[in-house]
Chains A and B, each alone.
Chain A
Amino acid sequence: MARLSLRDIKKRFKTTDVLHGIDLEIGDREFVVFVGPSGCGKSTLLRLIAGLDPISGGDFFLNDQRMNDVPPSRRGIAMVFQSYALYPHMDVYENMAFGARLMGLTKDEVEKRIADAARMLRLEALLKRKPRELSGGQRQRVAIGRALVRKPEVFLLDEPLSNLDAALRSEVRLEIAKLHRDIGGTMIYVTHDQVEAMTLADKIVVMNAGRIEQVGSPRELYETPANTFVATFIGSPRMTLVDVTRDGEKLAVANGGSIATGALPAGDTFKLGLRPDAVKLHRGHAGDGLTAQVVYTEYLGDNAYVYSRLADGTLVSARTGPNDIYAPDEAVTVTVEPGSAHYFSAEDGRRLTP
């Protein structure tokens, strides 16, 4: 059992406020991913949960026990670091045994736990190796093994894949997902990579500038982003935001035509959010739709992304078939799949519902 409860958590370094009051509940066995751009405070928040940095304000409870002043080694939390942080003078076995012995476990229990972890992570053949004799992926597994043998209630993972090459990254990502299924602990995972967030998380916490923008399942964040930040952060290529004004049942772009998108929310001006798969392109300037000019095309094999510029200068991305090739500067008309657009307030960027 591990429930985490963060109440109005604040962090200040000297005179700089880094976290401005974080409220978050994390349930038992949940896989939670903190995601956000660099400097948004996600790693800082993780370090506060670990106890590596002191909390400046607010309360952190683990299973209803206040943890603010409990040292990191007594919180029942284990952490996997971005650089793995293996002890370079100890072999793989010693790296895993070090923390387990400090917990006061018997020799047999330590050995058993290491054997279990080594089997689960395929480290049996590497137990006598020093960290510098391991590849990046192997080091990563040792770092996870070191966390596993302590049988913590909560696992913290700080950008664990960012030092791996692309091929290995997706492989280890699958292993981490499997690991979570097998051991069932609560996991908190920090990344700036939205693909990792989308594929691993039960619950994603999107952070920006020291605040939580939205908490939800990957599907919720993608389908109903709470504001323009989340809307543009989740999804690749990112959602296009267009400033539009209402023109009857249609939406008009300055000097660029108008478009029908289905039911509209109340109000006269707002931001229209278009994901690439909601956008349809038609050759030439004809009929209903927004006039645009193709800028460039990205061919990806199974599909292609076409970027074109609207009359007001906004760059719109559209997903097309791999054979729909548009020449640069070609004139196109943009229409939208009815009901697939998002609407946000022009003032504060909050989501508006039709």
Chain B
Amino acid sequence: MPQLRMTGRGLWITALIVPPLAFVALFIVYPIISAFAYAFFDWQGLKRLDFVGLENFHTVLFVEPYRSWTLNAFKNNVIVFFALMVLQNGLGFILAYALWRELPGARFHRIAVFLPVVLSTIIVAYLFKLFYHPLFGVVNISLKSIGLGWLAQPWLGQSGTALGSIIVAQAWHMVGFPTLVFLAGMQRIPSEILDAVRMETESEWVKITKIVWPLVAPSATIVFTLLFVGAFNWFELPYIMGGLDGSPFGSTDVLGLYFYRTAFGNVSAGQQDFGLGSALAVIIFLFIAVVAGVITTRLRAREIQL
């Protein structure tokens, strides 16, 4: 039988590995597993009652009113994902291309575009809440001052515009991130390849769609996957700008808010249910993990080694 000898080296390795492993197990693995476990029990406040199997999952997915709430929040997350895909990643790609082509002022804008990313989400949320204020928000004041007063409206106060307004704030906040990743991807393209394209066409459109876009595929994989995870975990901005109930009328409700409300209760409706909340958390986690896994493998397949 091979013997594990506790030599000086072995001791060292053990001493270095055990503390972080213990830390991860205690503060990451254990909570995740227990959250999974919570989902299979009935709860009364913080008191665990009977094992109920998949009952909690059934309730949040198929029993009213949870069913409608779940679907509504999920629908909003889907909207957020696609809207941000266009606004954040799409704009990020265009900004990156403009920065990469070194249009005038590129040095300044390279920093300016990334600056909001560094800001705290809380600051961004309150800033945009002020911008959108119906009476003295800068958005409405600007619209009025250029004669478009009829467009001024309570952006965060009506169902039709609230979610979109928060999405715009999110896009402004994070657009620098995909820009940076795409820019890094573009800068990896050898300059002779770009010269070779220029010998064959002067169309920027052809250059972007046929050469640059396929060659920044690794960057696209990263920003797509991260955006997907971020969009379905979205919490801070809607929490601060729309409130825990996803006001008005659930129009800014997303899975993150809905989970939080269900598990921990809120001011207006004091009830809380750990079991249902945990079931939601598990469903969100599995959904994100599976879809992100699929996205990553599918996108990886089209990446090219330069």
> Which residues of A are at the interface with B, using a C-beta cutoff of 8 A?
47, 50-52, 71-74, 77-79, 81-89, 98-99, 102, 130, 132, 146, 150
Contacts and interface: CB of A to CB of B under 8 A. Distances in A.
A88 B304 contact: yes
Contacts of A72: 198-199, 202
B197 to A, nearest CB: 8
Contact of B199 (A78, A82, A87, A88): A78
Contacts of A132: 305
16 contacts: A52-B199, A73-B198, A73-B201, A79-B195, A82-B192, A83-B190, A83-B192, A85-B195, A85-B196, A86-B196, A87-B196, A88-B306, A98-B210, A99-B199, A132-B305, A150-B200
Interface string B196-219: 111111110010001100110100
A89 B215 CA distance: 7
B193 interface: yes
B196 A73 contact: no
Given A74-B202, A102-B201, A79 B305 contact: no
A89 B197 CA distance: 13
Contacts of B196: 79, 81, 85-87, 146
B195 A52 contact: yes
Given A78-B199, A79-B196, 15 more contacts: A47-B195, A51-B198, A71-B198, A71-B202, A72-B202, A73-B199, A74-B202, A79-B199, A81-B196, A83-B192, A99-B199, A99-B201, A102-B201, A130-B304, A150-B200
A119 B196 CA distance: 23
Given A83-B190, A83-B192, A89 B199 contact: no
Nearest to B303: A89
A89 B214 contact: yes
Interface in B162-198: 190, 192-193, 195-198
A132 B193 CA distance: 14
Contacts of B203: 102
Contact of B206 (A51, A52, A71, A102): A102
A346 B202 CA distance: 51
Contact of A85 (B193, B201, B305): B193
A99 B306 CA distance: 20
Contact of B198 (A52, A82, A83, A130): A52
Contacts of B197: 87
A230 B6 CA distance: 73
A74 B193 CA distance: 18
Contact of A88 (B195, B198, B210, B215): B215
A89 B217 CA distance: 10
Nearest to A152: B199
Contacts, number: 63
A88 B303 CA distance: 10
A98 B200 contact: yes
Contacts of B206: 102
B76 to A, nearest CB: 36
Contacts of A52: 195, 198-199
B199 A50 contact: yes
Contact of B190 (A78, A85, A146): A85
A81 B191 CA distance: 11
Contacts of A146: 196
A72 B201 CA distance: 8
A43 B76 CA distance: 57
Contact of B304 (A81, A84, A89): A89
Contacts of B190: 83, 85
Contacts of A81: 192, 195-196
A50 B195 CA distance: 10
Contacts of B210: 98
Contacts of B200: 73, 98-99, 102, 150
B210 to A, nearest CB: 7
Contacts of B306: 88
A55 to B, nearest CB: 15
**What 5 A-B pairs have minimum CB-CB distances, sorted nearest first?**
A99-B200, A85-B192, A85-B196, A71-B202, A89-B304
A130 B302 CA distance: 13
A77 B201 contact: no
Interface string B268-306: 000000000000000000000000000000000000111
A16 B199 CA distance: 26
B193 A77 contact: no
B305 A88 contact: yes
B211 A87 contact: yes
B211 A77 contact: no
Nearest to B202: A71
A132 B303 CA distance: 13
Contacts of B211: 87
A117 to B, nearest CB: 15
Contacts of A50: 195, 199
A127 B210 CA distance: 19
A99 B195 CA distance: 13
Contacts of B202: 71-74
A147 B198 CA distance: 13
Contacts of A74: 202
A47 B192 CA distance: 11
A43 to B, nearest CB: 11
